[in-house]
Amino acid sequence: MDLIFEKSIEGRRGYSLPESDVPSAKPLAAKYVRPQSPTLPEVGELDVVRHFMALSRRNFSVDGNFYPLGSCTMKYNPRFTEVLAAMSGLADLHPLLPQLASGDRLVQGALAILYEMEQLLCEITGFSAFTLQPLAGAHGELTGAMMIAAYHKAKKNRKKYIIAPDSAHGTNPASAAIAGFQTITIPSTEEGVMDLAALERALTDEVAGIMLTCPDTAGIFNRDIDKIAQMVHKVDGLMYYDGANLNAVLGRCRPGDLGFDVMHINLHKTFSTPHGGGGPGAGPVGVGPKLMPYLPVSRVVRRDDGTFRLNYDYPESIGYVASFYGNFAVIVRAYAYILLLGKEGLKQVSDHAVLNANYVMARLKGVFDLPFDRTCMHECVFSACAQSKNGVHAIDLAKYLIDQGIHPMTVYFPLIVREAMMIEPTETESKQTIDRFIQCMMDAADLAARDPEAFHAFPKTMPISRPDEVKAVKDLNVNFFD
Ligand SMILES: *Cc1c(COP(=O)(O)O)cnc(C)c1O
């Protein structure tokens, strides 16, 4: 596809403005003036529309196709939330509009949304307070780890380590390390959950806390959470819940009731903001009583007369973790989504997410190896070990799906499963779509048995078939076509 610069025709314009009848201001100082005009593409409006339309069609998206990318919750985002986030009373607010003076009324609505969102998240998760500032899941983890550090510092605890299971999302140990901790990795058992005996051995007085996901990254609910919480609390460690994907437990169980002290939620996964490609997200962090004093500032508080203001007066706070109040538009979308669904609707989210994943698991069991053969939560993990004996690996099956118009599942993650294929159908897909995916997977297994060589050619329908993935990471030259 041509670059827009290559479509340029000298003198072509996409707009025309009337001749200005306003006298020019004083000319800019010479040091600010470019020596030459910039080389911009000279194109008509229709050229621009067609160019960007064509680009957008190259982008694989949930709006176009099924996207069962495990651990990422690529679900459909209702347009309703987009309409609300784009309302000019919200989208056009300037973050420096006065909050405390007479200008209060200019931002009262926005502050009310932040305040109510915090209340809703507390209700959904069982925590005492939330900060909405963190800009992504990993940023929420870092915020949580910093609060854990502040807690131990205030108590003069000498703590060095944060524990994470070997199935953890890679951001967990990374966030703990950035907050100044060393990490200890606990292996998983055959059943895919944390090995309690190994945890027992690792739990010394120097352990600051543990980062867990439940259901964990293999999509399995850990039945020992309360036992783990007791063990960790005994050494005055704190329990961190990675709630990036809350659609497995929404409305059914609350991390705050399970013994956790702090958690983050990815609004851009669970609460329906489009994500991927590094787009804006939000990773609000909830805390129980132990960590309340350390929450970032500012915090929205409600005055006796029902109006809202921002309060910065928390001497033990870890301070700012983001400019202004986080990704406000993401928070608005999540707020709208929660109010749209209501209590019963949120329960249906987790019912459908879990039902759909178990349906996929039940129907593909026997076609692919199933390392953890028990009820899964919102995602299920298969292994391509049997097919790999024939030379067809998880990556080959993933490439096969691309030609079927389906985004590949997550492969080679979690790391504890060989030839892992992690499938998250999400709650928003119909039985027909999921059935078509299952049929594709069955066809792929069939082809792997009959004609393994065929897989070398997939994908056939893409401009690039198989880029060298290691080179693609190290050498960021996106010009594939020269
Ligand atoms: C996505 C995810 C994260 C990281 O969230 P980001 O918003 O990408 O930083 C952390 N933990 C789990 C389990 C996740 O799925």
Nearest-CA residue for atom 12 of ligand 1: 244
Residue 74 is assigned to a structural domain of this protein: no
Which DSSP string corresponds to 315-373? TT----SSSTTS-HHHHHHHHHHHHHHHHHHHHHHHHHHHHHHHHHHHHHBTTBB-SS-
In a domain, 64, yes or no: no
> Which ligand 1 atom sits closest to the C-alpha of 73?
15
Residue 152 and residue 295 in one domain: yes
User: How far does the centroid of ligand 1 lie from the alpha carbon of residue 285, in Å?
Assistant: 13
Domain stop point among 281, 310, 340? 340
Q: What is the pLDDT of residues 445-474, one digit of tens each?
A: 999 999 999 999 999 998 888 888 788 788
Give the mutation target among 242, 327, 422 for probing the ligand 1 site: most ligand atoms within 8 A of CB: 242
Asked whether the predicted pLDDT for residue 278 surpasses 70, the reply is: no
| 168 close to 242: Cβ distance less than 8 angstroms | yes
Q: What is the pLDDT of residues 386-433, one digit of tens each?
A: 999 999 999 999 999 999 999 999 999 888 899 999 999 999 999 999
Ligand 1 binding pocket, CB closer than 6 Å: 71, 136-138, 169, 171, 213, 217, 242, 244-245, 266, 281, 283
The domain boundary, picked from 296, 316, 340, lies at 340
Same domain flag for 300 and 421: no
Of the pLDDT bands very low, low, confident and very high (cuts 50, 70, 90), residue 135 is: very high
Number of domains in the chain: 3
- Nearest one of 318, 283, 270, 331 to 111, comparing CA atoms: 331
Distance 171 CA to ligand 1 centre (A): 7
User: Would strands 262-265 and 285-287 be described as parallel, antiparallel, or unpaired?
Assistant: antiparallel
How do residues 324-355 score in pLDDT, each as one tens digit? 889 999 999 999 999 999 999 999 999 999 99
Query: In DSSP terms, which residues pair with 300 in a beta bridge?
Result: 310
Task: For residue 281, give the ligand 1 atom closest to its CA.
Answer: 7
Distance 4 CA to ligand 1 centre (A): 35
Residue 359: give the domain boundaries. 348-472
Confirm whether 274 is domain-assigned.
Answer: yes
* Mean of pLDDT over the chain: 92
Q: How far away, in angstroms, is 72 Cα from ligand 1 center? A: 7
Query: What is the C-alpha separation between 60 and 279, in angstroms, rounded?
Result: 14
Indicate whether 103 pLDDT > 70: no
User: What gap in Å lies between CA 241 and CA 286, rounded to an integer?
Assistant: 10
Do residues 218 and 270 both lie within one domain? yes
Torsion angle (degrees, nearest 10) of CA 199, 200, 201, 204: 100
Do 330 and 422 belong to one domain? no
Residues 6+ apart with CB under 8 A from 108: 307, 308
Confidence of residue 482 (pLDDT cuts 50, 70, 90): very low
For residue 180, the CA-to-ligand 1 centroid distance in Å is 20
Q: Please identify, among 298, 324, 340, the residue that sits at the C-terminal boundary of a domain.
A: 340
Quote the pLDDT of residue 444.
98
> What pLDDT digit, counting tens, does each position of 146-203 carry?
999 999 999 999 999 999 999 888 899 999 999 999 999 999 888 888 999 999 999 9
